[in-house]
Chains A and B, each alone.
Chain A
Amino acid sequence: MVKVFIYPTTSLILSDLVARFGHTPLSAALQIREHIQTPGLESPPLQITPEDPKKGLKWAAVEVPSGVRGRMSLYGPMLEQAEAAIIIHDADFSFGCMGCARTNELIQFLLRKRGIPVLDLRYPRTEEEGIEFVAAIKKFLNELAGGGA
């Protein structure tokens, strides 16, 4: 069983398929859960605190907008844990603002820089593509260590 980074990090389909085929999906929910279950100081009452952009400095330079650094404080630890990744490229809903778009580019760059196995896909648009989509994910996951569940 390996830890598989999924992009979009909120994807229901990827999260489900990775878990279904016996691996651990690294999704945004896990980091957000850890954030909101940790006592501390909160202002404003959201999952990102003023401390997070400082933590994000590990993955993005100080000139980079704080929105990107704040997001990287969530995604950065997962990028470091990831042993493989599945990326869907046409996820329009993951582009909420420029911060998201730049964070998304940085995530993909850092994943490729790590040299881990990466599967690039787009969402299926027909039933035939759906069959190939699921088959490709299963084959990719089976080839990882501990795969074949």
Chain B
Amino acid sequence: MTEYQPKYVNTVTKYVFVESPEMTPGDLAIRAYEISQGVMIKETCFGLQITGNEDEVNAIVDHLRKFDPAHIFVKDRGFPPGDSRRCRANLGGARPGYFGHEFEISISRFISKGLVELPKRDALAEPKPPEPDGSAKLDAKKLRKIIESVET
């Protein structure tokens, strides 16, 4: 057991994903560098990871969102970039958590469409969201009917 000395204490890390026909992660990185004052910005294949003081990170995120509000998505990250417990440079293969991002980015175009269409929608219209599929388990009442139909 070794003593643990954390790095980047009192910082936050945020992912900024961009899935846009008009912006690339490189464009986003340049925009972020223009206003950053000492935060760590890492450009990735999907967007950016920004690590630093919470207020400064939030200010950069708010600034970036304005360039393409419907196609830029932001979430918190627990680990800082390059952490040996998560970075694939040390572990090999995809980073844990990548599969969730890969899946959600594949359907982000539907969310972007929703964000674009939302202001045009009648404010009083009742939304009809996709409802979860029912349980695959056999309903007890249905089972009883099957048993009764076989017995008679």
Interface residues of A (CB under 8 A from B): 8, 10-13, 15-17, 19, 25, 27-33, 35-43, 45-47, 89-94, 120-127, 129-139
Contact = CB atoms under 8 A, between A and B. Distances in A.
19 contacts: A11-B100, A12-B17, A15-B75, A30-B76, A31-B78, A33-B77, A36-B6, A37-B11, A90-B132, A93-B99, A125-B107, A127-B109, A127-B110, A129-B130, A132-B127, A132-B128, A133-B110, A135-B118, A136-B128
Contacts of A134: 111, 114-115, 117-118
Given A121-B131, A122-B133, A136-B129, A28 B110 contact: no
A32 B79 contact: yes
B108 interface: yes
Given A39-B4, A130-B113, A93 B103 contact: yes
A12 B100 contact: yes
Interface of B: 1-6, 8-13, 15, 17, 73-79, 83-85, 97, 99-101, 103-105, 107-115, 117-118, 121, 125, 127-133
Closest 5 CB pairs between A and B? Answer: A130-B110, A32-B78, A134-B114, A136-B129, A42-B4
Contacts, number: 160
Contacts of B73: 12-13, 16
Given A11-B104, A91-B100, A136-B129, 20 more contacts: A11-B100, A12-B104, A16-B74, A29-B76, A36-B6, A40-B3, A41-B2, A41-B3, A45-B84, A45-B85, A46-B85, A92-B103, A93-B99, A94-B100, A121-B129, A124-B110, A126-B110, A130-B110, A133-B129, A135-B118
